[in-house]
């Protein structure tokens, strides 16, 4: 007899469902009032009520990895997720959703147990929403970002938006063109005060689940998901880290790297983004040009009077 699907086995509990537009929803997995650890998952672009079940399943994977008896996960899609490149090129959805997420994080303090620790987990455009929430006063004990296109042009270290003693944990998988493009700002994987977690286990056997590209961070039995679970349950000493460069990440076979071509593609994608922004938000385009024009970060430094170093990516091998 075939096994029943998870949609039959798992009961659903929603804090909010709004069918207007593409739809919004906030779902709780587990017992948020008594859980020792609470995670808030913020999905990225292309999400709606039609895709929410997949995000709910992703939240359940995080909960199972962190330890379901002690963990609750809130899947938070209470913003208008961009549905395409034009919308994703704009920060509008993050600027609108960030304050709402910040407010929810404050409300969560009243829902959870007093000693429960909150970890905010966000993917792709969701990292923009979470970043804005933290800039707007939202707080979480720990912050996890996967496949981030950048927070904003002036954020180039965790301390800019994650207030101590909170810490930022970042994952960038090999071949993640979204993270490489830095569409919305510097790649958080390069922040000098962020903890960059490994997405693949370097000593695992050939049967290990590998993670590549932009949408595989939450694959079951992967090192990427294991590390997210470790952060959520506070098992920080077991986290595996990496400092690989883009070139090392994009090697296809020994001695061969397509990091150059991929970086060119990422650069082209970034130029497409700039073109879209120029049409939809001229002021944002001008600011980005100042930050990424001739001289790179030094141009931004001249505009702001501030110069800060970014983490050097690992050895090019």
- Is the whole model's pTM more than 0.85, yes or no? no
What pLDDT was estimated at residue 194?
Answer: 95
């932009």: which residue's tokens?
A: 214
Per-residue model confidence as pLDDT tens digits over 96-126: 999 999 999 999 999 999 999 999 999 999 9
Is pLDDT at 132 greater than 60 in this prediction? yes
Range in 145-154, 217-226, 276-285 with the lowest mean pLDDT? 276-285
Q: Which CATH class is domain 6-245?
A: alpha beta
The set of residues, in sequence order, having a beta carbon less than 8 Å from that of 166 and lying 6+ positions away, is 139, 140, 141, 142, 143
Closest Cα to residue 76, out of 50, 92, 52?
52
Starting at the edge strand found earlier in the chain, the sheet holding 142-146 runs 14-18, 24-29, 71-77, 37-42, 117-123, 142-146, 167-171, 195-196
156-171 pLDDT tens trace: 999 999 999 999 999 9
Question: Which tens digit of pLDDT belongs to each residue from 207-260?
Answer: 567 777 888 899 999 999 999 999 999 999 999 999 887 777 766 433 444 445
The residues, ordered by sequence, that sit 6+ positions from 65 with a Cβ below 8 Å of its Cβ are 225, 226, 228, 229, 232
């Amino acid at each position: 007899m075939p096994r029943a699907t998870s949609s039959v086995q798992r009961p659903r509990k929603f804090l909010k469902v709004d069918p207007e537009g593409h739809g919004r929803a906030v779902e709780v997995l587990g017992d948020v009032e008594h859980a020792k650890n609470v995670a808030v998952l913020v999905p990225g672009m292309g999400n709606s009520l039609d895709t929410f079940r997949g995000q709910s399943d992703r939240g359940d994977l995080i909960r199972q990895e962190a330890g379901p008896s002690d963990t609750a996960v809130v899947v938070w899609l209470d913003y208008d997720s961009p549905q395409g490149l034009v919308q994703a090129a704009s920060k509008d959805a993050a600027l609108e959703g960030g304050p709402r997420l910040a407010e929810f994080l404050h409300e969560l303090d009243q829902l959870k147990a007093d000693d429960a620790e909150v970890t905010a987990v966000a993917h792709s455009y969701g990292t923009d929403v979470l970043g804005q929430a933290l800039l707007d006063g939202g707080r979480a004990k720990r912050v996890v970002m996967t496949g981030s296109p950048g927070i904003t042009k002036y954020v180039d270290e965790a301390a800019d938006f994650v207030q101590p003693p909170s810490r930022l944990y970042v994952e960038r998988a090999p071949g993640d063109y979204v993270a490489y493009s830095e569409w919305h700002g510097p790649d958080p994987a390069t922040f000098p005060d962020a903890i960059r977690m490994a997405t693949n286990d370097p000593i695992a056997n050939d049967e290990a689940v590998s993670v590549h590209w932009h949408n595989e961070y939450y694959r079951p039995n992967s090192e990427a998901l294991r590390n997210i679970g470790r952060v959520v349950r506070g098992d920080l000493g077991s986290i595996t880290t990496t400092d690989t460069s883009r070139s090392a990440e994009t090697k296809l076979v020994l001695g061969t790297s397509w990091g150059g071509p991929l970086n060119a593609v990422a650069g082209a994608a970034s130029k497409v983004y700039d073109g879209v922004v120029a049409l939809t938000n001229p002021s944002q385009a001008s600011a980005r040009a100042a930050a990424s024009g001739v001289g790179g970060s030094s141009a931004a430094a001249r505009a702001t009077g501030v110069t800060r170093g970014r983490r050097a990516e690992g050895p090019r091998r």
